[in-house]
């Protein structure tokens, strides 16, 4: 009696089978040639969607729902003409902006990686509400393909300050995301029409809620959230580059190409965003299943991710903290 194997049920081993299998083969050959050495292989099958944390998608939907209620509520409270002191308004704006940037934005990031198109478009809507819809295209089609190379606008160069990076990353990701979407055939509607339409709808809502002051507050909260997203990109890829192979093409993205952080509280609050190497190695892996690579396999930040992002706002302090570590990791 012969066994029948359902090939369709076998999960793919690599996101890029040709190049990543070659990389693993080279590691095996190195281990054979140099007995006793440790070869770190940064590739493994992606975990099936939903197996690590079945309630994860429900949590993401709940966060998105809070986002869609909190953002207009904050705009109405601050700009709607009600009794509120300047200090209270500033505290509300700061708290709302931090919640959006540290909780809602990581949830949107998770959603745009989901294969369920309803969840994907929910993530797009979260980004569009903060006037950053193009990130849904630039992140998936550009950043994940070109991370740690000069072709990725969202990879910070060694020695580059955050403010220079932010200008380059915002415009570059908008442009490259547009190009990447334009190269995909068979689309009736360009996704950027949805992104820009969603942003326009958000500003119309702000105008209806509180007039021009409402638009100003919505813009302020959106810029605050965008800055936090760009800070995370800046910190998590600062100075790391992929080596070019004999054919001139960069090596596959591996664990060495993102900075990680082991801190549990901030990791839980940001849906394990600090486990960034594993996310790039396995983009489809749900946030609860992301793993923290060993310290010798992937670079680690010396402080928690939110603290690192705060330090990055002062470029001399950032470079003093990170450039020596980057040099040691590259050596």
Inside any domain, residue 187: yes
Inside any domain, residue 327: no
- In a 3-state reduction of DSSP, which class is residue 300? strand
**Position 37 confidence tier, pLDDT thresholds 50, 70, 90:** low
SS (H, E, C) 63-127: HHHHHHHHHHHHHHHHHCCCCCCHHHHHHHHHHHHHHHHHHHHHHHHHHHCCCCHHHHHHHHHHH
Inside any domain, residue 292: no
Arithmetic mean of pLDDT over the chain:
88
Q: Give the residue-averaged pLDDT of 179-186.
A: 85
**For residue range 91-149, what is the model confidence (pLDDT) as tens digits?**
999 999 999 999 999 999 999 999 999 999 999 999 999 999 999 999 999 999 999 99
Inside any domain, residue 202: yes
Determine the structural domain holding residue 146 and report its residue range: 56-222
**For residue range 193-214, what is the model confidence (pLDDT) as tens digits?**
999 999 999 999 999 999 999 9
DSSP 77-90: HHHS--S--HHHHH
Q: Which of 235, 285, 243 is nearest to 260 (CA)?
A: 235
- In a 3-state reduction of DSSP, which class is residue 260? strand
Which region, left, alpha or beta, applies to residue 135 given φ > 0 means left and ψ of -120 to 50 means alpha? alpha
Q: Give the residue-averaged pLDDT of 283-296.
A: 90
**Position 321 confidence tier, pLDDT thresholds 50, 70, 90:** very high
Q: Report whether pLDDT(43) > 60.
A: no
Q: Report whether pLDDT(81) > 90.
A: no
Inside any domain, residue 270: no
Inside any domain, residue 102: yes
**Position 53 confidence tier, pLDDT thresholds 50, 70, 90:** low
Which of 22-31, 159-168, 198-207 is predicted least confidently? 22-31
**Number of domains forming the structure of the chain:** 1
The answer to whether residues 162 and 234 touch, using CB atoms and an 8 Å cutoff, is: yes
pTM here?
0.83
Inside any domain, residue 259: no
Inside any domain, residue 180: yes
């Amino acid at each position: 009696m012969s066994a029948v194997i359902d090939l369709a049920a076998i999960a793919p081993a690599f996101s890029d089978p040709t190049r990543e299998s070659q990389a693993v083969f080279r590691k095996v050959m190195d281990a054979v040639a140099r007995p006793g050495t440790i070869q770190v292989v940064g590739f493994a099958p992606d975990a099936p969607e939903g197996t690590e944390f079945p309630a994860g998608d429900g949590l993401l939907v709940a966060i998105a729902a809070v986002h869609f209620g909190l953002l207009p509520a904050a705009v109405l409270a601050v700009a709607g003409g009600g009794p509120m002191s300047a200090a209270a308004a500033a505290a509300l704006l700061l708290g709302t902006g931090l919640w959006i940037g540290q909780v809602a934005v990581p949830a949107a990031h998770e959603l745009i990686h989901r294969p369920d198109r309803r969840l994907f478009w929910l993530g797009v809507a979260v980004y569009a509400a903060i006037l950053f819809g193009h990130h849904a295209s630039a992140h998936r089609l550009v950043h994940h393909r070109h991370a740690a190379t000069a072709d990725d606008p969202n990879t910070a160069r060694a020695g580059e300050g955050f403010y220079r990076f932010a200008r380059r990353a915002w415009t570059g990701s908008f442009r490259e995301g547009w190009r990447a979407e334009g190269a995909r055939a068979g689309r009736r509607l360009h996704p950027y029409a949805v992104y820009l339409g969603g942003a326009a709808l958000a500003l119309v809502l702000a105008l209806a809620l509180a007039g021009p002051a409402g638009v100003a507050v919505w813009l302020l909260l959106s810029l605050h959230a965008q800055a936090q997203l760009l800070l995370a990109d800046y910190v998590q890829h600062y100075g790391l580059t992929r080596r070019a192979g004999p054919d001139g093409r960069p090596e596959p993205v591996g664990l060495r190409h993102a900075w990680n952080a082991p801190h549990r509280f901030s990791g839980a609050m940001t849906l394990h965003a600090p486990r960034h190497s594993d996310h790039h190695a396995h983009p489809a892996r749900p946030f609860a299943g992301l793993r923290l690579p060993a310290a010798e396999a992937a670079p680690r930040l010396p402080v928690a991710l939110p603290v690192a992002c705060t330090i990055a706002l002062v470029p001399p302090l950032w470079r003093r903290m990170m450039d020596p570590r980057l040099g040691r990791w590259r050596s």
